[in-house]
Amino acid sequence: MATTPTPMPEAEVVREATRRLLEVLPPSWSGELVAQSAVGALRRNDAELTVRAPSGVAATIPIEAKRIIEGRDVATIAEGAGSQTGLPGSDLIVMARYLPATVRDRLTDAGLSWADATGNVRVSLTWPGLFIFNRGADSDPWRGPGRPKGTLKGEPAAKVVRALIDFDRDWSMRDLVEASRASTGATYRVIEFLDEEGLVERINSRVVARDWQSILRRWSADYSFTRTNQTSKWIAPRGIDDVLARARETSDLRYAITSTVAASRWAPYAPPRSLMVYAESAAEIADAWGLRTAEGGTNVVLAQPNYDVVFERAEAWDGVTIAAPSQVVVDLLTGPGRNPSEAEELINWMSRNEPVWRR
């Protein structure tokens, strides 16, 4: 019978996270934890860590500790770092029993060092000069069985995320349910998760997604063109240009071109070496476009989507159908080779041209 793990108090969080941190200090470096009771009642940080370089130069670093830190907590921690300690954010170490990857990224972006009780550690000091990084657990070992971990996997999440990104609105939950066509329960769960991650703003009873870039990046952790859908590899004997010419003659078939070719509609990066396409029927598309099956040397990948949201807000361009920018970005972010760089170029274009694509 499964048992619920015993909660870890904050004092134990500090001790265990500090132990993990000290284990990865460079040779000849040393460290010592000063507990809260010894710090003094006038100091607002939870504890302090003194690290000493081989030269004898030492730094005393305040610790901000919580059992659980969510994405929405990071801004508050970063804002309070200077006012509470009089030190820049990089001179504060944030500790928790477990820090999810998205929270670690946000802490890093905020200039904060961090460590958790599983061994995830990143500390950056300017004086004495120190940088350490260590990989710990990829999931929270203390999460109880009755509290499933939130994700953006699945069709309902894809529907809600695409609606939040594609439309520039402050949403009522009723309007978001209607626009996304996800169930009411699923919509509330996705918004609760995004709120915990600090990726949406809740103003009274409205929901606002100003940071659509971060939502896209978070979605890419749970969605992938190749992993989420049923893909097949093909060869276009006469090249991609010939395939696009054939696509212009098959407007009756349901498909949406994504990745490099679609991104060139808004942010050309480099000549495409392959073609990635969502196809309602891969067999019909392959036959109409003259594709041949192959395992090696392929230049076309067809994906039969597990859900139809990939076709939402697709548009005609140069006689072919391409996926919406938000869909193209997430496909590039999870793609091979230069695809992530192409995603960044497209995100930059989208940031400069929101009125063009965000309705």
Q: What is the pLDDT of residues 151-180, one digit of tens each?
A: 899 999 999 999 999 999 999 999 999 999
Residue 270: the pLDDT is 86
pTM to 2 decimal places: 0.71
Judging by DSSP bridges, how do beta strands 292-293 and 275-279 pair with one another?
unpaired
| pLDDT over 90 at 323, yes or no | yes
Q: Name the least confident of 8-22, 68-82, 246-260, 336-350.
A: 68-82
Q: Which CATH architecture has domain 225-357?
A: 2-Layer Sandwich (3.30)
Of the pLDDT bands very low, low, confident and very high (cuts 50, 70, 90), residue 78 is confident
Mean pLDDT of the chain: 88
Indicate if the alpha-carbon torsion angle 81, 210, 171, 229 is positive or negative: negative
| pLDDT over 80 at 353, yes or no | yes
Percent of the chain with pLDDT over 70: 90
Structure tokens at 80: 């309070």
Helix axes 325-333, 212-220, angle to 10 degrees: 50
Whether omega before 305 lies within 30 degrees of 0, making that bond cis, reads no
Residue 88: the pLDDT is 40
117-153 burial: b if 16+ Cβ within 10 Å, else e:
bbbbbbbbbeeeebebeeebeeebebeeeeeeebebe
Of the pLDDT bands very low, low, confident and very high (cuts 50, 70, 90), residue 2 is very low
- Spatial distance between the Cα atoms of 151 and 173, rounded to a whole number of angstroms: 19
Of the pLDDT bands very low, low, confident and very high (cuts 50, 70, 90), residue 39 is very low
Residue 82: the pLDDT is 54
Q: Cβ(26)–Cβ(35) under 8 Å? A: no
Of the pLDDT bands very low, low, confident and very high (cuts 50, 70, 90), residue 36 is low
Residue 184: the pLDDT is 93
All structural domains of the chain with their residue ranges: 10-134, 155-220, 225-357
Residue 147: the pLDDT is 43
Residue 7: the pLDDT is 59
Q: Cβ(328)–Cβ(322) under 8 Å? A: yes
Asked if the domains at 155-220 and 225-357 fall in one CATH topology, the answer is no
Judging by DSSP bridges, how do beta strands 201-203 and 170-171 pair with one another?
unpaired
Q: Cβ(61)–Cβ(112) under 8 Å? A: no
Supply the CATH classification number for the domain 155-220: 1.10.10.10
Which residues partner with 202 through β-bridges? Answer: 207
- Spatial distance between the Cα atoms of 15 and 9, rounded to a whole number of angstroms: 10
